[in-house]
């Protein structure tokens, strides 16, 4: 289905077509990521709780990559959707039913709705204005959650969240084994979806908008609608990540919905590589494992090392770790 | 096979560590805020813990050593804290967890220790309900109601007149507003009005102007201890509320010992209720403050969080001593829940075995000049106060 957004192959475009098809083909390297994740379950059983948190951040960063990396919407407010998802899942568990999949569903719907509604305003702007607006939305929602103490528990956090066993079989216990598999599985589905999305004609048209907005308008692509849809999709995904956090920790606090969280996700994305789909899978683990290791080594000054690493990344690896790998590979090819 | 072995090892890890019979190194996990904008709070607790350990290490049974395993929760981030607690319990096999600045962190950890059966000794975290969340939680700090409610009673008894309440707009603020109002109104006091001020980057001038225009006899204030309280205090003085004859009262948070030097002259005559003042004349406190200054320098002043850390570590050390180093989780918990210390820097304290919460003196203090510096001078004592919130809700 060649929608009007796709670049139609020209006469000499056979290569373009095959390149486009190649994008859909799964490469063995991709399987390796998932094998590593599975292996991690047995290799480092004591790190399963950390593993599940890394997966959650991966999913969140992945959702951010869709808007920042693919659609070119530089947002500082993605934690708003994460937080809405987290609180929705928590409130669903308390007031409706503690069935985990229902929690994921309500969180996805709520975050998606907030995404679309805020997108209606935010996406009218670009650049700095857009960043400020997204920032404002996080602050407004954070304050709302703080003020509505009777609903959200305010700064004390939402108490009393319980989660029924997943599929009625596995309960989320304290050793994090169920959480590891559960969050890993949801992340896998999220990744599969994101991969199909960015490879689809719709996804390519989003990239087209990022690359040349005027031309996309000129060829009749409904730019604003497209951006709104992709923003909503990404918000939905962020909401699911938030719901996973609620379910694995059985608690929601205001920290789910802070600017700090947006900022951290952005840092992870930049660290991994923007607009590459795998940036999230590299950046989030590196950041979180480093934080874990450094904070253990010195709980007071670990932020210094994280900061240093970021400075080095921005100076010497503009396109993140994956970009660095690319350039090394390219250099070796040239040398050969 | 390997997996089963691991699973079994993991599942029993906690129990094993709890029943180990060798007198050896006992690990104590400290989950605390060591980085970020709130690191100064964690620092006070950490110093309290370390100082106690340093001073009392020698009293441990022969062959027994305590190792602190410190972890940074980076602020009120329960998901980080939960992960750290899991790690401390499973990987480090700690037999106690202490520290904890934040209520949401404490609430989240209560679930973990309830499953893992590891005693959690709170050195701060002051939402009233916390110790009710799990029998494995004991609290060495205070409940929000410890300060606000007795101050309300005191204010009513002393005829403070129409009081305007001004609190930060977050849960501890709401709690102290309720606590004070309850204590005051139930004893015949009159509330002139109340206002909640935003927590993020507040400008206090409009709020204080409004209060000034309402012409109350006194203002009850609660703000998070630290820079905010200082800014509030400055605005209170600059707008001339003191010179208009409006008294300022509040919980000890608005005049914490280590912030006083930054506050100018406004705090003179401010009346607060709290469980600890670094200026208290008790010999135990003098000794504590002297040891503190010797260890951390003459400009460093301990505050209520330091005492929370000090007593938390004290309770843990006592529990280890009472078991002669052969620590089991159940026995530790029983000892912690029956802990008493007649010689805490804040006066006699004990844990109420039925709630796990602290029972302590609450002092009414006036901020005065002493030896050229501001100090909170205790002049009236509410002896052995149990958390009023739990007491009131029990009667219902």
Please tell me the distance from the alpha carbon of residue B222 to that of residue B232, in angstroms, as a whole number.
10
Phi-psi domain of B159 (left: phi exceeds 0; alpha: psi -120 through 50; beta: other): left
**Separation CA A77–CA A119 (nearest Å):** 11
Residue A192 falls inside a structural domain: yes
Strand pairing report for B340-344 and B347-351: antiparallel
Chain B residues touching residue A176 (CB < 8 angstroms): 86
Flag whether residue B82 sits within 8 Å of chain A, measured between CB atoms.
yes
Mean pLDDT is lowest, of A53-62, A300-309, B204-213, B336-345, for: A300-309
Rounded to whole angstroms, how far apart are CA atoms A280 and A63? 9
Separation of alpha carbons B393 and B396, rounded Å: 5
pLDDT digits (tens, 9 = 90+) for B347-374: 999 999 999 999 999 999 999 998 888 9
Is A253's Cβ below 8 Å from some Cβ in B? yes
Q: State the pLDDT at residue B2.
A: 47
How is B338-361 classified by DSSP, letter by letter? Answer: T-EEEEETTEEEEE-TTT--EEEE
The position carrying tokens 């993605």 is: A78
Whole-number pLDDT of residue B17? 46
Selected residue with higher pLDDT from A177 and A93: A93
Cα–Cα distance between B344 and B284 in angstroms, integer? 7
Under 8 Å between Cβ of A277 and A62: yes
Listed in sequence order, the residues at least 6 apart from B294 whose beta carbon sits closer than 8 Å to its beta carbon are none
- Domain membership of residue A333 (yes or no) is no
| Cβ B97 vs Cβ B84: under 8 Å | no
Of B372, B345, B362, nearest to B280 by C-alpha is: B345
- Span B187-197, pLDDT tens digits: 999 999 999 98
pLDDT band at B18 (very low <50, low <70, confident <90, very high): very low
Any idea what DSSP says for residue A174?
A: T
pLDDT of residue B6: 45
- Determine the pLDDT at residue A21: 61
Chain A within 8 Å of B21 (Cβ-Cβ)?
no
Instruction: Report CA-CA distances (Å) from A222 to A198, A231, A235.
Output: 17, 14, 20
Determine, for residues B174 and A254 on separate chains, whether the beta-carbon distance falls below 8 Å: no
| Span of A57-66, A203-212, B159-168, B193-202 with lowest mean pLDDT | B193-202
Q: Which residues of B touch A46 (CB under 8 A)?
A: 10, 87, 90-91
Residue B79 pLDDT greater than 80, yes or no = yes
- Please, which pLDDT band fits residue B157 given cuts at 50, 70 and 90? very high
Q: Show residues of chain A in contact with B168, CB under 8 Å.
A: none
CB pairs under 8 A between A and B: 112
Residue limits of CATH 3.40.50.2300 in chain B: 2-142+283-356, 145-274+361-395
Looking at the DSSP bridge assignments, the partners of residue B377 are: B366
Which of A112-116, A328-332, B340-344 shows the lowest per-residue confidence on average (mean pLDDT)?
A328-332
Cα-only R_g, chain A: 20
A170 — contact with chain B (CB < 8 Å)?
no
* Band of residue A13 on the pLDDT scale cut at 50, 70, 90: low
**Percent of chain B having pLDDT more than 90?**
61
- Picking from A156, A295, A296, the nearest residue to B171 by CB comes out as A156
> pLDDT grade, residue B127 (50/70/90)?
confident
Query: Of chain A residues 297-316, which have a CB less than 8 A from chain B?
Result: 299-303
**Rounded to an integer, what distance in angstroms lies between the CA atom of residue B99 and that of residue B105?**
10
SS3 of residue B242 by DSSP: coil
Calpha distance B335→B365 (Å, rounded): 32
pLDDT in tens, B289-329: 999 999 999 889 999 999 999 999 999 999 999 998 888 99
What tokens appear for B373 in the block? 């510096």
Among B70, B76, B112, beta carbon nearest to A255: B76
Q: Quick one: pLDDT band at residue B13, thresholds 50, 70, 90?
A: very low
- Token pair 């290799």 is at which residue? A43
Residue of A nearest to B200 (CA): A143
A58 neighbors A284 (Cβ within 8 angstroms): yes
Enclosing H/E stretch for A89: helix A79-95
Q: Does CATH place domain B145-274+361-395 in 1.10.1380.10?
A: no
Tokens representing B241 are 């509320």
The average pLDDT across A215-223 equals 89
Handedness of CA B199, B200, B201, B202 (dihedral sign): negative
DSSP for B245-274?
T-EEEEEGGGG-TTTGGGSTTTTTT-EEEE
* Statement: residue B9 has pLDDT above 80: no
Q: Does B171 touch chain A (CB under 8 A)?
A: yes
Helix (H, G, I), strand (E, B) or coil at A140: helix
How far lies A154's CA from each of A129, A260, A329, B172, in Å? 29, 18, 50, 9
H/E element, A273: none
The count of residues in chain A is: 336
Cβ–Cβ gap A174/B75 under 8 Å? no
**Which pLDDT does position B209 carry in this prediction?**
93
A48, A60, A253, best to mutate vs chain B, most B CBs in 10 Å: A253
CB atoms within 10 A of CB B29: 25
- The Cα–Cα gap between A226 and A206 comes to 7
pLDDT, tens digit (0-9, with 9 covering 90-100), for A318-333: 888 888 888 888 888 8
Question: What's the CA gap between B82 and B91, in Å, rounded?
Answer: 14
B205: which 2 tokens? Answer: 């001038």
CA distance B43 to chain A (A): 9
Return the pLDDT at A189.
Answer: 95
Q: Which tokens in the block code for residue A41?
A: 């379950």
Q: Phi/psi of residue B62, each to 5°? A: -55, 135
pLDDT for position B287 = 94
Closest residue in A to B1 (Cα) is A42
Per-residue model confidence (pLDDT) at position B5: 46
Best mutation site among B81, B90, B143, B228 for testing chain A: the one with the most A CBs within 10 Å? B90
CB contact under 8 A, B170 and A155: yes
Residues of A whose CB is below 8 A from B82: 49, 249, 251
Contact call for A155 and B83, based on CB within 8 A: no
* Among B32, B35, B71, beta carbon nearest to A303: B35
- Closest-CA residue of chain B to A175: B86
Tokens of A125: 């702007």
User: Which burial class, exposed, middle or buried, applies to A10 when counting CB atoms under 10 A from its CB (0-12, 13-18, 19+)?
Assistant: exposed
Contact A157 B103 (CB under 8 A): yes
pLDDT tens digits along B242-298: 888 899 999 999 998 888 888 888 889 999 999 999 999 999 999 999 999 999 998
Q: Is the pLDDT of residue B19 over 50?
A: no
Burial class (CB in 10 A: 0-12, 13-18, 19+), A129: exposed
User: What region does B25 belong to: left with phi over 0, alpha with psi -120 to 50, or beta?
Assistant: beta
In A, minimum Cα distance to B174 occurs at A149
Contact A234, A145 (CB under 8 A): no
On average, the pLDDT of chain A sits at 86
Q: What percentage of chain A reaches a pLDDT higher than 70? A: 93
User: How close A170 comes to chain B (CA, Å)?
Assistant: 15
Q: What is the per-residue DSSP string for A17-84? A: HHHHHHHHSPPHHHHHHHHHHHHHHHH-GGGHHHHHHHHHHHHHHHHHHIIIIIS----S-THHHHHH
pLDDT tens-digit series, residues A23-42: 667 777 778 888 888 888 88
Q: Show the DSSP H helices in chain B as ranges.
A: 2-19, 39-56, 78-90, 103-116, 144-157, 171-185, 205-214, 227-238, 283-296, 304-322, 329-337, 388-395
CA distances (Å), origin B141, targets B122, B252, B267, B350, B393:
7, 13, 24, 11, 20
- Hey, is the C-beta of A150 within 8 angstroms of any chain B C-beta? no
To test the contact with chain B by mutation, choose from A49, A174, A261 the residue with the greatest count of B C-beta atoms within 10 A, namely A174
Which residue among B2, B79, B90 places its CB closest to the CB of A175? B90
Which of A154, A175, A248 has its CB closest to that of B10? A175
Q: Flag if B170 and A176 touch (Cβ within 8 Å).
A: no
Q: Indicate the number of domains in chain A.
A: 1
- How many residues are given for chain B? 396
Mutation site for B-interface testing, chosen from A82, A156, A303 by largest number of B Cβ within 10 Å: A156
Rounded to 5°, angle at Cα A184 from A182 and A189? 100
Residues B63 and B25: beta-carbon distance below 8 Å:
no
| Beta carbons of B70 and A159 less than 8 Å apart | no
Closest CA to B364 of B148, B158, B151: B151
Predicted pLDDT at B243: 87
Q: Which two tokens stand for residue B287?
A: 């000794």
Q: Is A295 in the B-facing interface, judged by CB distances under 8 Å? A: yes
- The per-residue pLDDT of chain B, averaged, comes to 88
**Contact residues, chain A, for B87 at CB < 8 Å:** 46, 49-50
Residue B3 to chain A, least CA–CA distance (Å): 7
Judged by a CB distance cut-off of 8 A, whether residue A200 touches chain B is no
- The parent domain of residue A228 ranges over 27-257
Token digits for A304? 């210094």
CATH fold label, B2-142+283-356: Rossmann fold (3.40.50)
Q: A53 in contact with B at a CB cutoff of 8 Å? A: yes
Q: Which tokens in the block code for residue A64? A: 């951010």
**Rounded Cα gap, residues A281 and A302, in angstroms:** 22
The ipTM is 0.75
**What's the token pair of residue B61?**
């049974």
Residue B302: per-residue pLDDT: 92
CA distance B28 to B67: 6
């Amino acid at each position: 289905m060649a929608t009007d957004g796709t670049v139609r192959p020209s006469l000499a475009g056979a290569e373009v077509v095959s390149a486009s098809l190649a994008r859909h083909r799964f490469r063995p390297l991709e399987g390796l990521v998932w094998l590593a994740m599975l292996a991690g379950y047995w290799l480092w059983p004591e790190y399963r709780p950390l593993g599940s948190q890394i997966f959650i951040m991966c999913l969140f960063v992945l959702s951010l990559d869709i808007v920042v990396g693919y659609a070119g919407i530089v947002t500082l407010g993605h934690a708003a959707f994460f937080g809405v998802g987290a609180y929705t899942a928590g409130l669903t568990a308390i007031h409706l039913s503690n069935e985990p999949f229902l929690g994921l569903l309500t969180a996805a719907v709520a975050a998606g709705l907030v995404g679309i509604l805020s997108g209606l305003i935010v996406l009218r702007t670009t650049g700095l204005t857009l960043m400020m607006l997204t920032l404002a939305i996080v602050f407004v929602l954070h304050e709302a959650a703080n003020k509505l103490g009777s609903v959200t528990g305010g700064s004390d956090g939402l108490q009393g969240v319980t989660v029924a066993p997943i599929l009625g079989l596995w309960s989320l216990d304290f050793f994090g084994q169920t959480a590891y598999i559960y969050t890993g599985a949801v992340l896998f589905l999220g990744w599969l979806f994101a991969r199909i999305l960015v490879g689809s004609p719709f996804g390519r048209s989003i990239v087209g908008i990022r690359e040349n907005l005027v031309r996309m308008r000129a060829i009749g692509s409904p730019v604003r609608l497209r951006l709104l849809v992709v923003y909503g999709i990404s918000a939905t995904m962020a909401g699911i990540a938030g719901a996973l956090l609620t379910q694995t920790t059985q608690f929601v606090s205001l920290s789910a919905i802070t600017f700090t969280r947006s900022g951290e996700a952005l840092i992870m994305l930049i660290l991994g590589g923007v607009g590459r789909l795998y940036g999230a899978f590299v950046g989030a683990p590196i950041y979180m494992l480093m934080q874990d290791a450094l904070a253990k080594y010195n709980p007071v000054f670990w932020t210094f090392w994280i900061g240093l690493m970021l400075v080095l990344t921005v100076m010497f690896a503009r396109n993140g770790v994956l970009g660095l790998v690319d350039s090394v590979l390219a250099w070796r090819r040239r040398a050969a | 096979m390997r997996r089963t072995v691991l699973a079994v090892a993991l599942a029993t890890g906690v129990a094993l560590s709890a029943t180990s019979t060798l007198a050896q190194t006992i690990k104590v996990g400290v989950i605390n805020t060591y980085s970020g904008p709130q690191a100064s709070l964690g620092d006070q607790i950490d110093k309290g813990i370390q100082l106690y350990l340093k001073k009392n290490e020698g009293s441990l049974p022969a062959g027994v050593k305590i190792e602190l395993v410190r972890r940074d929760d980076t602020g009120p981030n329960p998901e980080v804290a939960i992960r750290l607690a899991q790690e401390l319990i499973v990987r480090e096999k700690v037999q106690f967890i202490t520290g904890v600045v934040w209520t949401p962190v404490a609430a989240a950890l209560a679930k973990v220790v309830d499953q893992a059966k590891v005693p959690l000794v709170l050195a701060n975290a002051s939402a009233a309900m916390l110790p009710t969340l799990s029998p494995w939680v004991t609290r060495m700090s205070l409940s929000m109601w410890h300060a606000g409610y007795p101050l309300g009673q005191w204010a009513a008894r002393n005829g403070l007149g129409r009081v305007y309440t001004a609190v930060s707009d977050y849960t501890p603020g709401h709690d102290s507003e309720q606590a004070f109002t309850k204590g005051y109104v139930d004893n015949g006091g009159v509330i002139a009005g109340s206002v909640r001020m935003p927590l993020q980057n507040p400008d206090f001038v409009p709020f204080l102007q409004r209060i000034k225009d309402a012409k109350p006899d006194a203002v009850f204030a609660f703000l998070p201890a630290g820079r905010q309280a200082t800014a509030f205090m400055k605005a209170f003085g600059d707008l001339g509320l003191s010179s208009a004859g409006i008294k300022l009262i509040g919980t000890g948070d608005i005049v914490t010992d280590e912030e006083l030097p930054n506050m100018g002259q406004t705090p003179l005559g401010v009346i607060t209720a709290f469980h600890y003042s670094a200026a208290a004349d008790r010999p135990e406190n003098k000794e504590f403050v002297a040891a503190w200054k010797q260890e951390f320098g003459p400009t460093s002043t301990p505050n209520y969080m330091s005492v929370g850390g000090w007593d938390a570590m004290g309770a843990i050390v006592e529990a280890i001593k009472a078991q002669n180093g052969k620590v089991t989780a159940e026995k530790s918990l029983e000892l912690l829940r029956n802990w008493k210390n007649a010689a805490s820097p804040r006066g006699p304290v004990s844990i109420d075995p039925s709630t796990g919460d602290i029972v302590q003196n609450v002092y009414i203090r006036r901020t005065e000049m002493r030896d050229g510096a501001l100090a909170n001078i205790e002049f009236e004592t509410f002896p052995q106060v149990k958390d009023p919130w739990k007491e009131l809700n029990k009667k219902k």
